[in-house]
Amino acid sequence: MAETQQQDETLFIQHFRESSRPLSYYLEKMAGYTALKKAFGMSQDDIINEVKKSNLRGRGGAGFPTGMKWGFIPKQSAKPKYLVCNADESEPGTFKDRDLMRYTPHVLIEGMVIGGFAIGANTGYIYIRGEYTREAKLLDEAIDEAYAKGYLGKNILGSGFNFDLTVHRGAGAYICGEETALLNSLEGKRGEPRVKPPFPAQSGAFAGPTIVNNVETLASVPFIINRGGDWFAKLGRIEKSGGTRLIGVSGHVKKPGLYELPSGGVTLRQLIYDHCGGILGDKKLKAVIPGGSSAPVLTADEIDVVYDIDPMMKIGSMLGSAAVVVVSEEMCVVRLLTRITKFYAHESCGQCTPCREGTRWMEEVLERIEHGHGREQDMNLLLDIAGNINARTLCALGDAAAGPVTSFVKKFRADFEAHIRSGKCPNA
Amino acid sequence: MPKCIIDGREAEFTPGQNLVEVAKKVGIQIPFFCYHPALTVVAQCRMCVVEIEKMPKLQTACSTPAAEGMVVKTRSEKVIQAQKATMEFLLINHPLDCPVCDKSGECDLQDFSFKYGDAYSRYTEEKRTYVDLDMGPVIKKNMNRCIHCTRCIRFGTEVAGIHEMVAVQRGNNTEITTIDGRPLETDYAGNYADLCPTGSLLLKDFRFKKRVWFLKRTSTVCEGCARGCNMTIHQDNNVIYRCTARENLEINKYWLCDEGRFNFHYVNAEDRVVEPRSGASAAEWADAIAVAKSAVSGKKLAVLVGSDLTQEEGKLLLEFLPKNFSGAPVFHFGTPGIRSSQEDAAADRILKRKSKTANLHGLEKLGFKGFDSLPAGTSAVLVIRGGRATLPELKGVTTVGLGVFRDSEAQGFAAVLPGASFAEKDGTIVNFEGREQHLRRAINPPGQSKQLPEILMMWANSKGGQNA
């Protein structure tokens, strides 16, 4: 497997070192800003078509085809258009965009200028999560470098195209990773998701047509422009999903960390056992949370699945932000679910009734079970509450909170029963 | 007109209309809490969900515009289950204090709980509670009852033009409050209570005064200014307990200002003169009229007519006054500084007019002239008013009052003939746009007070002191 890994081309990870950050490195070692020059020689439609051809799908979690998203932006607009980079990387288990911004900020900047040019936006924002103070500072420095060299600002590279880029720091809310809550926050409002439609492509930031893309998504764009959509599509090992994936693996594996693999290039089992060296202490695998903590959990029997958007969806879970949390037999799944549910209850914005009331209710019931005061009917109650939240809210946070509860209780019912019947954690 | 099908009924709609409104047109009620036709749609209470053919998820009716050929089900199994779930969620943290809550009986949460909810709850954990801050003189907040519909927040920013209500914290801890806990500033604060779908925002003025099911409602018009906002008087046993806004999209939409809403207090005020008076002491009607007549007899008389009187009263006076006080000048009065309809203008960007009486424009049409000052040599004044018009300063003249006066206002009057307030009579008033609207009698004139025609008839028939 190690051999295969070497054969597979990676775009980012070989550059994830402190020394890669300066503009000089980007220009010399990564053909920096050559894609931008090329893009200025193309029409907007050509760029969007190239991105469509590349099968680049959103790296933030939903996996929506990026080229198609860009195509939704109206050509003519009375209001200014905006390109917003969603760098609010908050899904528990996810830490890919941080390295991208920390080590290769110029790929993101170049991707954003190209994106802005393609959709006709002269203003870009990088909405970065509040906790990423260092990355925000590094991005600002990189943006300053880009302005100084004329890669940002007025008449970029003599093209006549203007693009201004600003880093906007969040204030510590998971919900601001939801694109419309992000836009509200960007506008200085309370970070609450908006009613859709209108979708951001019609009316987004400051009511202008807006595209919101993830960091990794935008950072893929210069490669697509330089080497072609077809080339990028072929990097993927699966249909309708091009390029490579930055995968964050954490939890009970021997080699946790960030991996870059072709889209659909491995199964979850290969990822855990071949790439990450297997389970810590050679324990048995208990569970895998495959796509950030909101992804429905998988049991040890369900990991022979190709790790990409469509196959994961097919088995009722999701690739999400490609953050894999590996759980060994030593971990109490009741405690794990309690912690996850606490997170979603804490992060619910409080607008929608089912999410506001239901997430806390689930947390309270789980706390009770974990502390030995569970009742037999609690498991069905949890399934009911989760069912009543799922698909009944404005944004996906409700689903994100319900998914783990439903999947954990269904797949690890015996563990919950053991807690309830013995009044304590059998593992403890 | 395009059509859609709601619960098997064909419903016509104008493009852009949402499903709540379209369903209403064909007699189907879709329950909601956060939706309000005058406010931004936020679709967050999730009570108005409906099933739409070809859409896998339930949709919120408030945020879904009707579309040609759309097939909507408001009572499908899925919808009923979802509404039941939403009611359960809303009630898990809602106190069961309906017996002591003033909203009880007219509470959307209570009504929908009966209609769409379940009789029992599965919630056994501790309920969420909040500490309440004082919100000023108009509204009493009880956050424990709040269901976070945010109508109040949206009303403030979108209608009252003031961002004073806000949501702080988030998720389950979200609290609806004022910025920094300051008292409310808007002079439209009473609407917060009208809008609140639960007993979270209540009128301090009405709290603990009356169970709402005892109240009789009369649709009438506010007499607070020249706009003539539509409102409802709520009374029991001849006592007015409150006034609420009544929808009229062309005049006041759904709103009422605080001045108009609380104007009614003088009607039942303890110091209102409700017995005929001769000088400062109570008298029989016949005696009081005799005293009044002789007080103005032989004097140089001026008549002041309040622009809080109705058109009918005005017309009657146009017949009565020349016959009984020939040659006496007649003026209308009402708001200091506003002597004619020309001087009436918008007093704010919402509803209020500068004329603080309801019928300035009407009386002017009847030919009454505005009061500036008494003609030289005037020695007696007959003041006729409904109760709201501001009395001009009358010094050194003999004054007879006919209508509604407070004790303090009637000090020094030669006689008082107690009349009927706006809540005690039927009649027409004309607003600043020339729109005729009708005051409706909600209660009877208290004590011995009488309607204007009756008093004038008694005056005309009385054999007391003769006019010069």
What would the mean pLDDT of A358-362 be, rounded to a whole number? 98
Size of interface A-B (CB pairs under 8 A): 88
Contact yes or no for B58 and A391 at CB 8 A: yes
CATH number attached to the domain at B97-104+125-208: 3.30.70.20
Task: Measure in Å the smallest separation between the Cα of A99 and chain B Cα atoms.
Answer: 30
Nearest to A354 among B46, B128, B173 (CB): B46
Residue A163 has pLDDT above 80, yes or no: yes
pLDDT, position B464? 62
Residue A5 has pLDDT above 60, yes or no: no
Task: Measure in Å the smallest separation between the Cα of B343 and chain A Cα atoms.
Answer: 41
Q: Which residues of B touch A392 (CB under 8 A)?
A: 46, 49, 58, 82, 85-86
Which residue is it, tokens 């999400």?
A320
Would you mind telling me the total number of residues written for chain A in this entry? 428
| Window A:165-204, CB contacts with B under 8 Å | 173, 175, 190, 195
Residue A100 has pLDDT above 50, yes or no: yes
Contact yes or no for A354 and B89 at CB 8 A: yes
Structure tokens at B464: 């007391």
Question: Cα B193–B199–B203 angle (5° rounding)?
Answer: 40
Between residues B367 and B462, the one the model is more confident about? B367
Residue A426 has pLDDT above 90, yes or no: no
Q: Which residues of A touch B128 (CB under 8 A)?
A: 360
What would the mean pLDDT of B376-396 be, rounded to a whole number? 95
Question: Are B227 and B253 spatial neighbours (Cβ–Cβ below 8 Å)?
Answer: no
CB atoms closer than 10 angstroms to residue A187: 12
Contact yes or no for A388 and B122 at CB 8 A: no
Give the pLDDT confidence of B119-160 residue by residue, as tens digits.
888 999 999 999 988 999 999 999 999 999 999 999 999 999
Would you mind telling me the total number of residues written for chain B in this entry? 468
Task: Measure in Å the smallest separation between the Cα of B138 and chain A Cα atoms.
Answer: 26
Nearest to A351 among B44, B57, B125 (CB): B44
Q: How far apart, in whole angstroms, are the C-alpha atoms of residue A179 and residue A58?
A: 12
Contact yes or no for B44 and A348 at CB 8 A: no
Q: Per DSSP, what are the bridge partners of residue A262?
A: A244
Question: Are B331 and B325 spatial neighbours (Cβ–Cβ below 8 Å)?
Answer: no
Nearest to B171 among A346, A388, A392 (CB): A346
Which residue is it, tokens 């329950």?
B31
Q: Which residues contact A371 (CB under 8 A, 6 or more apart)?
A: none
Contact yes or no for A356 and B172 at CB 8 A: yes
First-to-last alpha carbon distance for chain B, in angstroms, is 70
Instruction: Give the gyration radius of chain A's Cα atoms.
Output: 22
What would the mean pLDDT of B111-123 be, rounded to a whole number? 94
Task: Measure in Å the smallest separation between the Cα of A245 and chain B Cα atoms.
Answer: 31
pLDDT, position B239? 97
Residue B467 has pLDDT above 80, yes or no: no
Closest to B418 measured CA to CA, from B302, B300, B269, B298: B269
Q: Which residues of A touch B123 (CB under 8 A)?
A: 361
Give the pLDDT confidence of B42-86 residue by residue, as tens digits.
999 999 999 999 999 999 999 999 999 999 999 999 999 999 999
Residue A1 has pLDDT above 50, yes or no: no
B408 touches chain A (CB under 8 A): no
Closest to B103 measured CA to CA, from B70, B47, B147, B65: B147
Which residue is it, tokens 């920390």?
A102
Contact yes or no for A195 and B45 at CB 8 A: no
Contact yes or no for B85 and A354 at CB 8 A: yes
Mean per-residue pLDDT of chain B = 96
Q: How far apart, in whole angstroms, are the C-alpha atoms of residue B383 and residue B303?
A: 6
What would the mean pLDDT of B190-206 be, rounded to a whole number? 97
Contact yes or no for A350 and B170 at CB 8 A: yes
DSSP code of residue A35? H
What would the mean pLDDT of A129-149 be, rounded to a whole number? 97
Question: Are B125 and B93 spatial neighbours (Cβ–Cβ below 8 Å)?
Answer: no
Closest to A3 measured CA to CA, from A324, A254, A274, A242: A274
Residue A8 has pLDDT above 90, yes or no: no
Which residue is it, tokens 């009065």?
B333
Strands B330-333 and B301-306, bridge-based pairing? parallel
Question: Strands, DSSP E only, in A111-170?
Answer: 123-128, 164-169
Give the pLDDT confidence of A166-196 residue by residue, as tens digits.
999 999 999 999 999 999 999 999 999 999 9
Contact yes or no for A392 and B90 at CB 8 A: no
Q: How far apart, in whole angstroms, are the C-alpha atoms of residue B387 and residue B406?
A: 9
Q: Per DSSP, what are the bridge partners of residue A126?
A: A85, A167
pLDDT, position A2? 42
Q: How far apart, in whole angstroms, are the C-alpha atoms of residue A272 and residue A257?
A: 11
Which residue is it, tokens 């007879």?
B400
pLDDT, position A401? 97
| Window B:93-132, CB contacts with A under 8 Å | 93, 122-123, 125, 128
- Which residue in B has a C-alpha nearest to residue A194's C-alpha? B42
| Cis peptide upstream of residue A74 (ω within 30 degrees of 0) | no
- Which residue in B has a C-alpha nearest to residue A358's C-alpha? B89
Structure tokens at A131: 């906790």
Contact yes or no for B44 and A352 at CB 8 A: yes
Look at the domain B3-90 and name its fold: Ubiquitin-like (UB roll) (3.10.20)
Contact yes or no for A365 and B47 at CB 8 A: no
Mean per-residue pLDDT of chain A = 96
Give the pLDDT confidence of A317-342 residue by residue, as tens digits.
999 999 999 999 999 999 999 999 99
Query: Exposure string (b/e) for B219-253, b if CB count within 10 Å is 16 or more?
Result: ebbbbbbbbbbbbbbbbbeeebbbbbbbebeebbb
Q: Per DSSP, what are the bridge partners of residue B233?
A: B218, B243
Task: Measure in Å the smallest separation between the Cα of A342 and chain B Cα atoms.
Answer: 11
Domain boundaries along the sequence of chain B? 3-90, 97-104+125-208, 268-461
First-to-last alpha carbon distance for chain A, in angstroms, is 37
Q: At B465, is the pLDDT very low, low, confident or very high (cuts 50, 70, 90)?
A: low
Q: Which residues of B touch A350 (CB under 8 A)?
A: 148, 167, 169-174
Contact yes or no for A356 and B47 at CB 8 A: no
Give the pLDDT confidence of A104-129 residue by residue, as tens digits.
999 999 999 999 999 999 999 999 99
Interface test with A, best of B35, B39, B46 (most A CBs within 10 A): B46
Mutual angle of helices B77-92 and A353-370, in 10-degree steps: 70
Q: How far apart, in whole angstroms, are the C-alpha atoms of residue A6 and residue A15?
A: 15
B268-461 CATH, one of 3.40.140.10, 3.40.50.740, 3.90.870.10, 3.90.1150.10: 3.40.50.740
pLDDT more than 70, % of chain B: 99
Task: Measure in Å the smallest separation between the Cα of A361 and chain B Cα atoms.
Answer: 8
A143 touches chain B (CB under 8 A): no
- Which residue in B has a C-alpha nearest to residue A395's C-alpha? B44
What would the mean pLDDT of B348-365 be, rounded to a whole number? 97
Closest to B235 measured CA to CA, from B267, B202, B198, B197: B267
Task: Measure in Å the smallest separation between the Cα of B348 and chain A Cα atoms.
Answer: 27
pLDDT, position B120? 87
Structure tokens at A265: 């290039």
Residue B450 has pLDDT above 90, yes or no: yes
Task: Measure in Å the smallest separation between the Cα of B42 and chain A Cα atoms.
Answer: 6
What would the mean pLDDT of A149-154 be, rounded to a whole number? 97
Q: What is the DSSP string of B115-172?
A: HHS-SS----SPPP--PPPP--SSEEE-GGG-----HHHHHIIIII----EEEES-GG
DSSP code of residue A276? S
Residue A3 has pLDDT above 50, yes or no: no
What would the mean pLDDT of A269-275 be, rounded to a whole number? 98
Q: How far apart, in whole angstroms, are the C-alpha atoms of residue A333 and residue A286?
A: 9
- Which residue in A has a C-alpha nearest to residue B147's C-alpha? A353
What would the mean pLDDT of B10-32 be, rounded to a whole number? 97
> With 0-12 CB in 10 A as exposed, 13-18 as middle and 19+ as buried, what is B286?
middle
> Phi and psi (nearest 5°) for B51?
-100, 130
Task: Measure in Å the smallest separation between the Cα of B86 and chain A Cα atoms.
Answer: 6
Task: Measure in Å the smallest separation between the Cα of A97 and chain B Cα atoms.
Answer: 26
- Which residue in A has a C-alpha nearest to residue B121's C-alpha? A381
Residue A345 has pLDDT above 70, yes or no: yes
> Phi and psi (nearest 5°) for A206?
50, 35
Q: How far apart, in whole angstroms, are the C-alpha atoms of residue A184 and residue A207?
A: 10
The overall longest dimension of chain B from CA atoms, in Å, is 87
Contact yes or no for A353 and B125 at CB 8 A: no
B171 touches chain A (CB under 8 A): yes
Return the amino acid letter for B326. Answer: S
